[in-house]
Structures are given as structure tokens and as C-alpha cells.
Amino acid sequence: MQNKKYTYLIYFIAAVIAATLAIQVYWNFKNYQAGKQQLINEVQSSLDLAIDNYFIDLAEKNTVGLAYDGDILNNKGLDTITKRLDFSTDGLSGLDSIDPEDLHEIKIFRGLRALNIDTLASSIKITSDDRKDVVESFLNPRNTDSLKGKFALANRIIISITTDSIEIPEMNRYIREQLDQKKLDLDYAYRFLKKNGTNQSYNLNKIDTTALKAEAKSAYLPNKSNFTLYYSNIAGTVWQRNLLGILLSTLLVASVIACLLFLLNIIKRQKQLAEVKNDLISNITHEFKTPIATISVALEGIKNFNTENDPVKTGNYVNTSANQLNKLSMMVEKLLETATLDGDDLSLNIEAINLNELLQNLINKHQTLAPQKSFTFQHPENDMILNADPFHLENALNNLLDNAVKYGGESISVTLKSVAKEVIIEVADSGNTLGRAEAKQLFEKFYRVPKGNTHDVKGFGIGLYYTKKIIEKHGGSINVATAPQTTFKIELPHG
């Protein structure tokens, strides 16, 4: 039931992560689409403003206003002006070279933007009180009642030259100016189609005209003409504009996923601890039950089956009980000692140890206890002396050999060597049942490699934990490799 709930929890967390990723991807995609549309609108606006400004400035340059007094047809200044006008592609020119003395009671105003109060007033020496009326009269010739007796601007001529061609360098300047104002770094091209069917173009051979385009909607375009702007490489600009949102959403998703994985890891860890606890309780119960049951049988034998008070029989019962009590005491002591390994309460009695001799004695003992196993020992010819606690170090090494005998293959090899300022001890066996996942937890307290609900080898799962702690208290390290065979490697400082 617990495993089923844990499986459902994993599925739920995986579904939450997948949904979170999908939502964030969709949200970023929608933001990208919105940003792209906004950029397209900005390009359209920039194009229309550029064309508006271009033709407004062109109209200003190609428009001349003439204000006169009297009969214009009999005014000699008009002949002077018309002779000097040059209707070139640059607009009206030639007026700047006219001698003011040749103009009889005629004032010239270049450009529509020049037709303002200050320019008119300064040109014809009108007082500030009359400026408004003067300009209104020029722009509206019917409103002249207030100007009687003054320099009459009611009579005026406006000459405006229109063109159906564009100056490409000038148009580029206007377009780039508008794009720069909106911080749009785009590659663009355009085609200006005139009403007679001919066209002017710019950069069309360098831009994919099947991609994005904008049709000019400016009212200043010449009649029946068409201006189309083509542009590309907007993806980088759109992503750059949405970079902050993308980074924040990525950070949010990463945080959510990290929290879920951390939660899953905690739940997994708690599940493993629960399994270890149950396994430990089961093992302790079984290990304690055996000596207790043996002592109970011995006492019952003394009570019920030794009515003759046979000293020999009584001695056997007592010895059996004593042995089991010693075994029970050792197990309790082992559990209590494990609790001291994590703190500083464990003190080491350091002295010189002959590692060659220590390992050889341990190998001989296990060879006697397990004659079916094959042991080999590789070591330097000279004795290797190490300063360590003989009792705890022997127990630690004994646990490794005992572990190899219980769980390893038929052959066990022990290697002792010195590298630089370290002593290296390797215990390898021909077994290959230990997986990489189990190897990561092998040195944890009370951990035993799971074998279903049964363990064919008795123990509490503290032997390798004890070994690791003892090695670390000596300033060394221990690790295990699972391929090509199970190998425990101990490194201890030396010299």
C-alpha cells in the first residue's frame, strides 16, 4: 500500500512539473506573439510618420507664397520672380538670388512653415498688435476688414509644385530616424510604385519580400501611388524585449521544479528511513529472540530436567546461558557504540600498528571460518607501520572482510600498498550483485541491501557505517566501486 501511494505521488509531482512547464511555454509563446504584433504596429507607425514627414518637408520646400499690394498683373516684380523660378527635382529654386530692389511691393515667403506670425510681421514691419490679423488675412483673404489702410496681404499667390518621385537617400533618412526613435534595429527594403506603373526600389535583393511587409497608409502619398516596406530579423528584437519576462518565468519554473524535486527527495528519504527502521526492528527482534530463547531453554532444563542436580549437566546449562548472555550483551554494546560514532565521545588510542601482520591475521581467521572461500593478499615486502587505534581499526577491517565473505563471490583479494603519503587498502571480491544505487547508501546507518521481506544474512546494518566512521576519525576516506567487481578502497594518511 505504501509503495502504491509513493508511486501515485511520483506521478502527481511529474504531472505538476509537466503542467508547469507547458503553462510557462504557452505563456512565453503568447508574450512573443503579442510582442511581435506590437513591433509590427510600431513598424507601420514608423513608416507612416516617415512618409508624412518626407512629403510635408517636400511640400514646404516646393511652396512659395507671394503677398502684394495693388494690381499684380501690372507689377514688374512678378516678371522678375517668374523668370528666376527653377522647377527642378529639388523643388523651387532661384528665388534666393533675387535683388529685393527689383520687387515692387511684393513679399516672398518660402515654405508653408514660414507662414507664421513672427516671419510675416518681421518681413513687412507689422506691429505686434496687428500680427494676428495679418496672418489670418493671409491665410483667409476674405477676412480683410481690419487691415484697411495697412499693407494688404489679402492679395496673395501660393505656388506649389508636386512630384511623383522620391529621393531614396532622403527617404532612408526619414525611415531610419523613425525606426531609431522606437529602437528598432531592422534590415529593410521598400518599393515605391508610381501611378504610371513604374517603380523605385531600395535593397530588395537583400531582403526576403515574402516575409513581413507594411503598406504605407499616409494621406500624403501621391495619388494612386503605393509604398511597401519589407523587413526581417525581428525575432531577435522581440525576444530581447521579452527577455526579462522570460528570465523571470524560467526562474519561477526552476524554483517550482526544484521545490517539488526537493519534496520528492525528502519523501523518498523518509520512506527509506521507515523501511530501515522496520527492518532494524525486525532484525533486532530476531537477533535478541535467539539468545533469549536459548537462555530460557537452559533455565527450563535446570529446573525441570536436572532433578538429580547433576553438576556436569548444570554446568552445561549455565555455560550455554552465559554464552548467550555475552552475545546479547555484545549486540547491545554494538548498538550503543554506534550512537557515539557521530559525536566526539569516541576517543582513539593511537599507537604503531603493523598493517601487514594485522591484515594477515584477519585473513587467516576468515579463511578458517569460511574454507570454501579463496583469499589472496598482496602487500609490500617490508612491514608497513601505521599510527592508529588497533582495536577500532581491526574491527573496521574485520567488517570489510566479513562483508566480503557474507555477500561477495568465491574469491576475495586484499591489497596493501603505499602511494605518496597515503596507505591504500583494497578489499575486492568476485561478487557482482551490488548495484550502483545500493552502493551510494551502503555506508548509511542501519542500511541493508533490500532483498524483499527477508534477509538471509543476519545483522543490523551498522558494520559498514562503523567502518566508515572509524576510517574518517583516522583522517582517511573509504569508497566502494561496483565494476568490474565489488571493491572497497580505504585511504589513510601515512608519514
Condensed to tens digits (0 to 9), the pLDDT of residues 7-27 reads 888 888 888 888 888 888 888
C-alpha span between 244 and 229 (Å, rounded): 30
Listed in sequence order, the residues at least 6 apart from 242 whose beta carbon sits closer than 8 Å to its beta carbon are 28, 31, 32, 35
- Which residue stretches of 113-234 are H helix? 117-124, 131-139, 168-181
Q: Note if the pTM is more than 0.75.
A: no
Strand partners, 352: 387
Q: Which residues of the chain carry a pLDDT beneath 70?
A: 1-3, 62-164, 276, 279-280, 282-284, 286-287, 305-309, 330-331, 333-345, 437, 446, 448-461, 495
CA angle 317, 318, 321 (to 5 degrees): 85
pLDDT value for 165: 78
pLDDT 10s digits, 36-79: 889 899 999 999 999 989 888 887 776 655 555 555 555 555 55
Q: State the pLDDT at residue 421.
A: 86
Neighbours of 314 (CB within 10 A): 15
pLDDT for the residue 477: 92
pLDDT at 36: 87
pLDDT for res 162: 56
C-alpha 50/C-alpha 167 separation (Å) is: 13
The amino acid at residue 198 is: T
Pairing of strands 422-429, 411-419: antiparallel
pLDDT of residue 423: 92
pLDDT of residue 83: 56
Cα–Cα distance, 431 to 409 (Å, whole number): 4
pLDDT of residue 65: 58
User: What is the identity of the amino acid at 426?
Assistant: E
The answer to whether the CB of 373 falls within 8 A of the CB of 406 is no
Tell me whether residue 401 is exposed, middle or buried, using C-beta atoms within 10 angstroms of its C-beta: 0 to 12, 13 to 18, 19 or more. Answer: buried
Cα distances from 38 to residues 34, 48, 212, 322, in angstroms, run 6, 15, 13, 90
Say what the pLDDT of residue 93 is: 52
Please give the full DSSP string across 345-378, using - where no structure is assigned.
------EEEEHHHHHHHHHHHHHHH-TTSEEEEE
Contact 392, 470 (CB under 8 A): yes
What structural domains does the chain harbor? 2-58+165-241 (no CATH), 63-160 (no CATH), 271-340 (1.10.287.130), 351-493 (3.30.565.10)
Cβ contact 379:416 at 8 Å: yes
Classify 488 as helix, strand or coil: strand
Give residue 82's pLDDT: 57
Closest CA to 168 of 89, 75, 103, 74: 89
CB 186 within 8 A of CB 231: yes
Res 60: pLDDT: 72
Cell of 367: 579463511
